[in-house]
A and B are shown apart, each in its own frame.
Chain A
Amino acid sequence: MTDLATLEPDAGVLDRRDVLIRGLRELVPEGSVIADEDGRRAFETDALTAYRQMPLAAVLPATTQQVSRVLKFCGENGVKVIARGAGTSLCGGALPLQDSIVLGVSKMNEVIDINFENRTARVQAGITNIDISNAVAPRGFFYAPDPSSQLACTLAGNLAMNSGGAHCLKYGVTTNNVLGLKIVLIDGEIIEIGGEELDAPGYDLLGLIIGSEGQFGVVTEATVRILRSAEGARPMLMGFNSSKAAGDCVSAIIGSGIIPVAIEFMDKPAIHVCEEFAKAGYPLDVEALLIIEVEGSEDEIEDLLSRIQEIARPFKPTGIRVSQSAAESAAIWLGRKSAFGAIGRISDYYCMDGVIPLGRLSEVLADIGKICARHKLRVANIFHAGDGNLHPLILYEANDPSQVERAEKCGAEVLELCVKVGGCLTGEHGVGVEKRELMLTQFTRVDLEHQMRIKTMFDPDWLLNPAKVFPLELRPS
């Protein structure tokens, strides 16, 4: 991407690098501070690979106490700290600064306790999202938020970004599925908030911390809600000859009182790339495809799918296919969940995450097409239709500086469009560095000041993941 404006690095910190690294090494077990160039390179970027910056060092603590010591040390020495889970952020949430350390939580990945009666699991925050579900699956339970990157991404990162997923239409996003946290503040203080009970006393600090993009503290443990899985689930494919018909069909289903557990939308370019990759049996002769999944017993699934087909009839769906086996269902979801990777094989892409009111869907998709055409770029659309969370993938050639610049401009215009129609800049990826300068299109200065004061309250010197979320010019001096 084009050069990223950033904060002037703290020369005092850069000059003292060797001393600081020696200091950090005294706080954590041997081998937990990575300072050599090759080692640090693993931490220079996240899934927004266009931006790269080598940190001073990476520190990989194994306990809450070690995190506390490291943060206290950084707080006292004015060293900035970028917390990192698995580095799967699509908005540069884990992008380091030249004068920062990266604090990786990946060593803290244990399940501490599971209570099926209370439907809770207490885990260390560095655990991967899928490993929570894996730990409770033998008893028929799961952890609901399921971002596409769930095989790799950590709960810590999910907490930072308040991640969603394909099934959040029914089960909610991260903030709806967490009951308690252990968080370490920049002065080293360890605070426990909430617990196993369904609501925490006093102000909803839990709700404020989730989605704060690593700017308030470092979460080392969490108590999450686990849910009993449905008896069964089955996806159905429905093709349409226009995006409008598909969008109207989604509205009609929801308006009828049925909330499918997932409704995913793909446009023609996305369908072709994903089919090529996953061989899921997606129809290739349609303009738009819906993957609709419902849950329940065999009979209930039959009943719901036939109700949905009845509702869909006026929108003239083609190529209706109900999955007939677990293998077929897995293939259908594989196509969707690996969509970004599949598109990545044919082109570089820039993934947007805007949200729009569902009623504006066809109009917005048409306008996105026009914006991309104006910038002479191709676009593929894949998204969670039930909640209006769009993921336009703008295709470009990373080695062509002119295309890079156009892709950035194009992306910003797409997000501005989302805000204009009543939506927002990001539904589940977060603001990070990527969208910070667009924040004033959605918020007033006063709105942002109310947010930034909370940042200051947790982290008076703005050492934790600074230069993210807010436009640089608005930072308190």
Chain B
Amino acid sequence: MSDLIQPSEEKELAAAVADANSAQTPIEVMGAGSKRAVGRPLQTATSLTTEKLTGITLYEPTELVLSARAGTPLAEIEETLAENDQHLAFEPVDLGPMLGQDAGLGTIGAVFAANLSGSRRIQVGAARDHLLGIRAVSGRGEVFKSGGRVMKNVTGYDLCRGIAGSWGTLAVMSEVTMKVLPRAQSTRTLLFVGLTDEVAIEAMCAAIGTPFEVSGMVHLHGEFAARLVDSDILRRPGPVTALRLENFEPSLDYRCARLTESLAAFGKPAELDDAVSRDFWSNVRRLSFLQGSTDPVWRISTAPTNGAKLVAALARRLECRVAYDWSGGLIWLQAAPSADAGAAEVGRVVAETGGYATLIRADANLRGSVNVFQQLNPGVMALTRKLKESFDPAGILNPGRMYSGV
């Protein structure tokens, strides 16, 4: 059992990291630990959680800004926002449930540390695009800030984006400030059944090229689709392509009709109403289709028009089930268990088609033996090592979680 440090103030956090830095003791950094099972396995005697650094410190709905200490539960922030009909527009995916944890455990700091974005990424940007400011403790044990609480800020380098997505390997965030946005009044979903991957992506790319602001586009293989859509809507089993529209009611009437018209070549879609739509997309956000299994899961990011080709190439060698998000540009691939979780095939195919892959679910042994985060080109890898050294010269924060020696 490892030691657990639970600072409840930034000062304590800084002192703990400074101690670890001078003693050169590596520490595992986490929020609530719901994503502990992602990344290369760590071997540290000490863990540090921000779970006790909690509380919303600023919320100005008319300025679209909210600040919270890093350990504040995401669920608490979303409840507070909902009271004002606002939300985190990038709808962070919840990795917890597919990793065997309960839903909704994550902290706000971890959302940004892992740069978790959901289906609305295609319309509003990623988590990192909504991060306005941070306070953090670098591996040197020093408190620093970047950005602030205003919408536009180019004062100095943009360390917010540098720290977002770094999985706790550069600094431990103590407080984050983010842009929040109004929730749409209503939601509707157009559902196509039976499209092949290739045709579905063609449809999604066509939809996003219309002016109707489609805010979510997923295509699910039949096994996954059956878990998200009721059989009375689905009628016959098969893959499902779902397109989400969000707006004021009168706009939705208009936009659904126009979008259906412009996608006539792909068939006539079913239309999910507000309640059914919200349910569907919240299941997508929790990755419900990946739950209840321990089979390896890869997350592959690529250009949408490469998606179908990439999956077809993989399916020739690897038994797999697939869900596409982001208009085809994000692939959740659940592979049948194997000695390397399909790493060799995934690595080869992704290198050929372009994009990159991350192994999100696999047991610790596997995560220790294959590349969890895809290897970077040598130039980028060299900069990656230097950046790590700049923030964390003793290499104490989540050492090796992303790449060996980083």
Q: Do A and B bind each other?
A: yes
The chain A residues found within 8 Å of chain B, CB to CB, are 115-120, 139-141, 161-162, 164, 168-169, 172-173, 175-176, 189-193, 195-208, 210-212, 228-231, 251-252, 254-259, 296-297, 299-300, 303, 355-359, 384, 386-389, 422-431, 435, 439, 442-444, 446-448, 450-451, 453-458, 469
The chain B residues found within 8 Å of chain A, CB to CB, are 60-65, 85-86, 115, 117, 121-122, 125-126, 128-129, 138, 142-146, 148-162, 164-166, 170, 181-183, 185, 202, 205, 208-211, 248, 250-251, 254, 301-305, 326, 329-330, 354-356, 358, 373-374, 376-377, 379-380, 383-384, 386-387, 389-391, 402-403
> What is the CA–CA distance of A299 and B248 in the complex, to the nearest angstrom?
12
> What is the CA–CA distance of A207 and B112 in the complex, to the nearest angstrom?
14
Residue of A nearest to B143 (CB): A446
Which residue of the partner chain, among B121, B129, B211, B376, contacts A201 with CB atoms under 8 Å?
B376
Would A451 and B380 count as touching, CB distance under 8 A? Answer: no
Would B209 and A192 count as touching, CB distance under 8 A? Answer: no
Would B150 and A356 count as touching, CB distance under 8 A? Answer: yes
**Residues of A contacting B62 in the complex (Cβ-Cβ under 8 angstroms):** 251-252, 254-255, 358-359
Known: A257-B182, A427-B150, A444-B144. A204 touches B162 (CB 8 A): yes
> What is the CA–CA distance of A355 and B302 in the complex, to the nearest angstrom?
36
**Residues of B contacting A446 in the complex (Cβ-Cβ under 8 angstroms):** 142-144
Q: Mind listing 30 A-B residue pairs with CB under 8 Å?
A: A116-B209, A161-B154, A168-B152, A169-B151, A172-B129, A189-B379, A195-B354, A196-B354, A198-B126, A198-B326, A199-B117, A201-B358, A204-B128, A204-B161, A205-B387, A207-B160, A208-B158, A208-B387, A210-B161, A211-B157, A251-B63, A257-B85, A299-B254, A357-B63, A359-B60, A387-B152, A426-B153, A429-B154, A450-B391, A457-B386
Q: How many Å from the CB of A247 to the closest CB on chain B?
A: 10
**Residues of A contacting B65 in the complex (Cβ-Cβ under 8 angstroms):** 357
Would B166 and A387 count as touching, CB distance under 8 A? Answer: no
Known: A207-B164, A303-B251, A424-B155. A119 touches B150 (CB 8 A): no
Would B250 and A303 count as touching, CB distance under 8 A? Answer: yes
> What is the CA–CA distance of A222 and B85 in the complex, to the nearest angstrom?
37
> What is the CA–CA distance of A297 and B247 in the complex, to the nearest angstrom?
13
Would A198 and B210 count as touching, CB distance under 8 A? Answer: no
**Residues of A contacting B165 in the complex (Cβ-Cβ under 8 angstroms):** 199, 203-204
> What is the CA–CA distance of A74 and B228 in the complex, to the nearest angstrom?
59
> What is the CA–CA distance of A202 and B126 in the complex, to the nearest angstrom?
15
Which residue of the partner chain, among A208, A254, A388, A469, contacts B150 with CB atoms under 8 Å?
A388
Would B60 and A205 count as touching, CB distance under 8 A? Answer: no
> What is the CA–CA distance of A447 and B153 in the complex, to the nearest angstrom?
15
Would A450 and B142 count as touching, CB distance under 8 A? Answer: yes
Residue of B nearest to A435 (CB): B155
Would B156 and A207 count as touching, CB distance under 8 A? Answer: no
> What is the CA–CA distance of A140 and B117 in the complex, to the nearest angstrom?
27
Known: A204-B128, A303-B250. A427 touches B154 (CB 8 A): yes
Q: How many Å from the CB of A195 to the closest CB on chain B?
A: 6
> What is the CA–CA distance of A417 and B373 in the complex, to the nearest angstrom?
45
Residue of A nearest to B153 (CB): A424
Known: A191-B379, A191-B380, A208-B162. A259 touches B152 (CB 8 A): no
Which residue of the partner chain, among B126, B183, B305, contacts A115 with CB atoms under 8 Å?
B305
**Residues of B contacting A469 in the complex (Cβ-Cβ under 8 angstroms):** 156-157
Would B390 and A453 count as touching, CB distance under 8 A? Answer: yes
Q: How many Å from the CB of B258 to the closest CB on chain A?
A: 8
Would A259 and B380 count as touching, CB distance under 8 A? Answer: no
**Residues of A contacting B402 in the complex (Cβ-Cβ under 8 angstroms):** 202
Would B162 and A447 count as touching, CB distance under 8 A? Answer: no
Residue of B nearest to A452 (CB): B157
Q: How many Å from the CB of B123 to the closest CB on chain A?
A: 9
Which residue of the partner chain, among A162, A204, A386, contacts B115 with CB atoms under 8 Å?
A204
Known: A201-B376, A228-B209, A303-B251. A427 touches B152 (CB 8 A): yes
Q: How many Å from the CB of A415 to the closest CB on chain B?
A: 10
**Residues of A contacting B248 in the complex (Cβ-Cβ under 8 angstroms):** 303
B157, B211, B251 pick with most chain A CB within 10 angstroms: B157
Would A201 and B373 count as touching, CB distance under 8 A? Answer: yes
Q: How many Å from the CB of B40 to the closest CB on chain A?
A: 13
**Residues of B contacting A357 in the complex (Cβ-Cβ under 8 angstroms):** 60, 63, 65, 149-150
**Residues of B contacting A210 in the complex (Cβ-Cβ under 8 angstroms):** 158, 161
**Residues of A contacting B330 in the complex (Cβ-Cβ under 8 angstroms):** 198
Q: How many Å from the CB of B104 to the closest CB on chain A?
A: 23
Q: How many Å from the CB of B23 to the closest CB on chain A?
A: 21
Q: How many Å from the CB of A242 to the closest CB on chain B?
A: 18
**Residues of B contacting A198 in the complex (Cβ-Cβ under 8 angstroms):** 121-122, 126, 301, 326, 329-330
Which residue of the partner chain, among A189, A355, A444, A451, contacts B157 with CB atoms under 8 Å?
A451
Q: How many Å from the CB of B282 to the closest CB on chain A?
A: 20
Residue of A nearest to B388 (CB): A203
Known: A164-B152, A450-B142. A140 touches B254 (CB 8 A): no
Would B158 and A193 count as touching, CB distance under 8 A? Answer: no
Q: How many Å from the CB of A39 to the closest CB on chain B?
A: 31
**Residues of A contacting B64 in the complex (Cβ-Cβ under 8 angstroms):** 254
**Residues of B contacting A206 in the complex (Cβ-Cβ under 8 angstroms):** 161
Residue of A nearest to B386 (CB): A457
Would B158 and A443 count as touching, CB distance under 8 A? Answer: no
Which residue of the partner chain, among B125, B148, B302, B379, contacts A423 with CB atoms under 8 Å?
B148
> What is the CA–CA distance of A401 and B220 in the complex, to the nearest angstrom?
69
B85, B121, B156, B248 pick with most chain A CB within 10 angstroms: B156
> What is the CA–CA distance of A444 and B138 in the complex, to the nearest angstrom?
14
> What is the CA–CA distance of A356 and B391 in the complex, to the nearest angstrom?
30
Which residue of the partner chain, among B63, B121, B145, contacts A447 with CB atoms under 8 Å?
B145
Which residue of the partner chain, among A228, A229, A297, contacts B254 with CB atoms under 8 Å?
A297
Seed contacts A140-B209, A205-B384; 10 additional CB < 8 Å A-B pairs? A115-B305, A201-B373, A203-B170, A208-B157, A212-B157, A300-B251, A355-B150, A359-B63, A450-B138, A469-B157
Q: How many Å from the CB of A93 to the closest CB on chain B?
A: 11
Q: List 10 tightest A-B contacts by C-beta distance, closest first.
A: A207-B161, A257-B182, A387-B151, A427-B152, A196-B303, A191-B379, A251-B62, A117-B205, A255-B62, A201-B356
Would B303 and A195 count as touching, CB distance under 8 A? Answer: yes
Would B152 and A451 count as touching, CB distance under 8 A? Answer: no
Known: A203-B384, A208-B157, A450-B159. A140 touches B303 (CB 8 A): no
> What is the CA–CA distance of A238 and B129 in the complex, to the nearest angstrom?
31
Q: How many Å from the CB of B249 to the closest CB on chain A?
A: 10
**Residues of A contacting B126 in the complex (Cβ-Cβ under 8 angstroms):** 198-199
Known: A252-B62, A388-B151, A427-B152. A193 touches B380 (CB 8 A): yes
**Residues of B contacting A359 in the complex (Cβ-Cβ under 8 angstroms):** 60, 62-63
**Residues of A contacting B142 in the complex (Cβ-Cβ under 8 angstroms):** 446, 450
A198, A429, A453 pick with most chain B CB within 10 angstroms: A198
> What is the CA–CA distance of A254 and B144 in the complex, to the nearest angstrom?
31
Q: How many Å from the CB of A336 to the closest CB on chain B?
A: 17
**Residues of A contacting B301 in the complex (Cβ-Cβ under 8 angstroms):** 197-199, 201
**Residues of B contacting A231 in the complex (Cβ-Cβ under 8 angstroms):** 211
> What is the CA–CA distance of A119 and B211 in the complex, to the nearest angstrom?
13
Would A140 and B149 count as touching, CB distance under 8 A? Answer: no
Would B305 and A173 count as touching, CB distance under 8 A? Answer: no
**Residues of B contacting A141 in the complex (Cβ-Cβ under 8 angstroms):** 209
Would B152 and A258 count as touching, CB distance under 8 A? Answer: no
> What is the CA–CA distance of A258 and B202 in the complex, to the nearest angstrom?
32
Q: How many Å from the CB of B199 to the closest CB on chain A?
A: 13
A190, A230, A388 pick with most chain B CB within 10 angstroms: A388
